[in-house]
Chain A
Amino acid sequence: MSRETVINWALALGLLAVPFLALMQGEPFYITLATRVAILALAGVGLNLALGLGGMVSFGHAAFFGLGGYAAGILATHAFNQEPLFAWPFMVSGSNDMLLIWLVAIVLSAVVAFLIGLIALRTSGVYFIMITLAFAQMIYYFAISWPAYGGEDGLSIYVRNGFPELNTLDPIQFFLICYVVLMACLFISARLRDSRFGAALQVARQNPERLAATGIAPFNIRLVAFVISAAMTGLAGALFADLNRFVSPSMLSWHVSGEIMIFVILGGVGRLFGPLAGAALFIVMEFYLGGITEHWQFFLGIILLCVVLFVRGGILGILAGRRVHG
């Protein structure tokens, strides 16, 4: 087993242990915190696929995070009010079944990512960063000014959505749902990375001409990766809405795009478990610094800056050492 594998296992088991320790200590709040880490890590796992593997620096993943959140919020609201979502051309009603909501969140994010990708992937470098940002801003302003679902005030989910056979209101059970989803997506990421598709994606990043010479269009490979990446982040958004029992346009803001990116970079770009390590560290810092000083953002900034400047390769870079392959 390589050092990175050991650390990955430690991270996975460590996250799993937190809520149970919290329960033993009678501190249920830490379960919520661990759930938050799991969900935000999932958003990062999604971005990591585009960013780490495909080299696509998306500064607009908040769009998918927010869309996933709104999918959950809107369906739940309609279910709560017992109003159909739309009655024509066929009847679609709301739902508070998590599985269905996840599916909608995934499909919605994927479709939007496909459309954005069609345009954005024609560009590269800074242009790509900025055009993804622009699309996210478009959706953000749309959400703020669209009155039907609360606009800037957002949308409350009065009863957390349900999962067959489980009580999602129980923090531990909800944590476990999020944890399993996170692990499943990590597993999918790992399989994708080691598949022929993953190999093609990495070649598309490093040497697109070579890939084109083999008859595979780099554009298509990137587009597929971008869509999968967005779908995972969208799924995280749906879970995040359920965690907070609330969605609002702030999930779509460019700060969120920046934060998701921070999780990935903090943990180590392209590392499978990087987003988990990064999200965990970020949340813990936000939580403790916020309790110590009202100027916590100042210190958070300094810490982040030091990480970028002096710790190349993120947390997993320090712990697991440099990667063998390039």
Chain B
Amino acid sequence: MKKLIAASLLGLGLTVSAGALAEPVKVGMITTLSGGGSGLGVDVRDGFMLAAKMAGNKDLEVIVEDDARKPDLAVQIADKMIQKEKVDVLTGIIWSNLAMAVVPSAVGQGVFYLSPNAGPSMLAGKGCHENYFNVAWQNDNLHEAMGGHANSAGFKKTFILAPNYPAGKDALTGFKRFYEGDVADELYTKLGQTDYAAEIAQIRASGADSVFFFLPGGMGIAFMKQYAQSGVDIPVMGPAFSFDQGILGAVGEAALGVKNSSQWSKDIDNPANKAFVEAFQAEYGRLPSLYASQGFDTANLILSAMQKADVKDADAFRAALKEADFDSVRGDFKFDSNQHPIQDIYVREVIKEGDVLTNKIIGVGLEDRSSAYVGDCKL
């Protein structure tokens, strides 16, 4: 693997070895490898590469490039990969705004796009496309599951907050879609805000019995640390993003006991997941994250389609992708008509295994969940 990492660090094309039939498939991965938020891109890439290595199919060629989280750079790299490198499949984008910049024009140029992370509502509904597949979730899914969990946990008055941008609004809408209790207050914070003292004071004063928050990246780390120090003891919950493996170490003990929703967890009991978790640790020396699992599934989906169809025959390859005939680390996985997953969304709790903070599944938030926008999609 050392070699494999070295090759991908060089950014140049790298070919994964061993034998199979079919036409070679060239995959272009555009992901965030530098600057803030690069941990997510690194995980998606590592998960993807691990699956490719484990399959040992030398007909899968992968090119990786860094978008530095800039939409215009992502568009430029996509154009380069399509027009110059002639890739068949694009994947890798982490952020919804980058996906919205790249996906419509990429699928318009005839390549396939498989999303390993972002799932903006537009692409699940009105803007769905026959060449666009989402292998992660629609953006609302994890929040919806937390709404379901809040009901079963018996919360009656929840304080909800998220950053003031589209994904934040979708998050709170998603939570409220299934939540039956009252909302104590609804708060939109500044994107990139790092100090939450004022919001925490409002939470304390609100008389809420629970808090739901969606604050991805550093915002969530800051919020959780400050919340733990504030002396407020109202239970907190949120989507997996603030409690996943890559970030838990930075949140620290403040996260212990927090319930969070995820479509994957390292303790899901199936052979594919066991093999994935073990191989990932052996290869990279750290526990896999949600994002790594999504990268891993994305690669396996491509590999499964390669077994069935020639990528140059777009209709056959699309049909093969749509069958989703691979062993997902999440267990059951199939596509709905809008080519977004139908899957169980679990509720996990942050626990300590020895010295390491990690998650344990404690229940299912929503079973066989598709997405709210599937009706708007004309596929």
A-side interface residues toward B, CB under 8 Å?
A: 27-30, 32-33, 36, 141, 144-145, 147, 150-154, 156, 158, 240, 244-246, 248, 250-251, 255, 286-287, 290-297
- Given A251-B72, A290-B77, is A152 in contact with B65 using a C-beta cutoff of 8 Å? no
Is B100 interfacial (CB 8 A cutoff)? yes
Chain B hits for A141, CB < 8 A? 190-191
Do B166 and A152 touch across chains, with their CB atoms under 8 A apart? Answer: yes
Which chain A residue lies CB-closest to B139?
Answer: A153
- What separation, in Å, do the CA atoms of A240 and B73 have in the docked complex? 12
Q: Is the beta-carbon distance between B72 and A147 smaller than 8 angstroms?
A: no
- The secondary-structure label for the interface of chain A is helix
A13 to chain B, nearest CB (A): 24
User: What residues on B are CB-neighbors of A33 within 8 Å?
Assistant: 76, 80
In contact, A153 and B120 (Cβ under 8 angstroms) = yes
Out of A29, A151, A244, name the residue touching B83 (CB < 8 Å): A29
* Interface contact A156-B104, CB-CB below 8 Å: yes
Top 8 closest A-B pairs, CB basis?
A29-B84, A29-B83, A152-B165, A246-B101, A145-B164, A151-B166, A294-B33, A244-B75
A153 touches B105 (CB 8 A): no
Find chain B residues with CB under 8 A from A153 CB: 96-97, 100, 120, 122, 165-167
Partner of B65, one of A30, A154, A290: A290
B94 to chain A, nearest CB (A): 14
Q: How far is the CB of B91 from chain A (nearest CB, A)?
A: 17
Interface size class, chain B: 35 or more
Contact B100 A294 (CB under 8 A): no
- Report the minimal beta-carbon distance from A292 to chain B, rounded to whole angstroms: 6
Q: Is the pair A294, B34 in contact by a Cβ cutoff of 8 Å? A: yes
Contacts of B105 in A (CB 8 A): 156, 244-246
Q: Are A28 and B9 in contact (CB under 8 A)?
A: no
Q: Name B71's contact: one of A30, A154, A290, A291 (CB within 8 Å).
A: A154
**Which residues from 67 to 91 on chain B have a C-beta closer than 8 Å to any C-beta of chain A?**
68, 70-73, 75-77, 79-80, 83-84
Q: Is B231 in contact with chain A by the CB < 8 A criterion?
A: no
CA distance A255 to B70 in the complex (A): 10
Residues of chain B within 8 A of A29, CB atoms compared: 79-80, 83-84
A246 to B99, CA, bound (A): 11
